[in-house]
């Protein structure tokens, strides 16, 4: 989205034409896969503004996501909430269920947070969401490890166990640190987020 603003009119026209040819939305992330499976989800505050900088907001969205996604029959397998974006690893029966759930969650939180911040005009809080279909077991565990290391990657903490708005502690309690360390060795995230989560 942000690169598009820096493009010349000719470059923009070429990108739009390419998206038309692929059947993608012209100005939104495409969702080419819609069937049942595991998906890596990224949702971002509009223009990466840190609207969730307040720890209470991170706790609030973490709780809402966990509770409300279950009502749509979506399993939230891993997550991390940061000041300006979040990542989820979810299992869904159909991506449309996830779209509906996130639209509901994002819409209600945007209204509440705008009221809390005294913004009577409509501040745009979210910019859509991006999804990646998980291809196989190795891809799944790379995504899991990427999620758990995201607070370190973005410089919020040096030890991933220090970040509380994350599923890492759940995995430590249920699987143990040895399992997490072995999973990290066998499935390091590598360049998993290169180009879109830098």
Q: Hey, where are the domains in the chain?
A: 34-186
Q: Which of 52-61, 81-90, 123-132 has the lowest mean pLDDT?
A: 123-132
* Cβ atoms of 192 and 143 closer than 8 Å: yes
* Cβ atoms of 14 and 26 closer than 8 Å: no
| Three-class DSSP category at 156 | coil
DSSP 70: H
Q: Which of 43-57, 86-100, 159-173 has the lowest mean pLDDT?
A: 86-100
Which of the four pLDDT bands, split at 50, 70 and 90, describes residue 4?
Answer: low
Per-residue pLDDT at 160: 96
- Signed CA dihedral, 130, 5, 193, 81: sign only: negative
User: DSSP per residue over 14-69, as a string?
Assistant: HHHHHHHHHT--SSS------SSEEEEEEEEEGGG--TT-SHHHHHHHHHHHHHHH
What percentage of residues in the chain have a pLDDT greater than 70?
Answer: 81
Per-residue pLDDT at 168: 97
- Nearest Cα neighbor of 88 from 163, 129, 147 is 147
pTM: 0.82
Which of the four pLDDT bands, split at 50, 70 and 90, describes residue 31?
Answer: very low
- Nearest Cα neighbor of 31 from 79, 80, 100, 77 is 100
* Structure confidence by residue, pLDDT tens digits, 42-80: 999 998 999 999 999 999 999 999 999 999 899 999 999
Give the domain 34-186 fold. Answer: Alpha-Beta Plaits (3.30.70)
Bigger pLDDT: 194 vs 161: 161
Per-residue pLDDT at 5: 62
How far, in Å, CA of 131 to CA of 97, rounded? 13
DSSP 132: E
């Amino acid at each position: 989205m942000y690169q598009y603003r820096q493009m010349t009119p000719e470059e923009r026209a070429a990108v739009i034409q390419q998206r038309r040819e692929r059947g993608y939305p012209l100005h939104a992330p495409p969702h080419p896969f819609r069937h049942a499976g595991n998906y890596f989800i990224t949702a971002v505050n509009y223009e990466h503004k840190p609207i969730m900088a307040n720890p209470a907001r991170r706790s609030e969205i973490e709780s809402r996501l966990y509770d409300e996604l279950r009502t749509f029959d979506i399993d939230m397998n891993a997550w991390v909430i940061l000041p300006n974006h979040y990542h989820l690893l979810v299992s869904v029966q159909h991506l449309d269920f996830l779209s509906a759930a996130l639209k509901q969650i994002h819409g209600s939180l945007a209204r509440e947070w705008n009221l809390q911040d005294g913004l009577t005009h409509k501040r745009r809080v979210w910019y859509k969401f991006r999804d990646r279909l998980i291809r196989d077991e190795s891809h799944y565990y790379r995504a899991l490890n990427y999620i758990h290391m995201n607070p370190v990657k973005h410089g919020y903490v040096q030890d991933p166990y220090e970040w509380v708005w994350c599923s890492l502690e759940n995995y430590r309690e249920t699987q143990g640190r040895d399992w997490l360390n072995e999973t990290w060795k066998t499935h390091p995230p590598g360049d998993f987020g290169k180009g879109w989560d830098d």
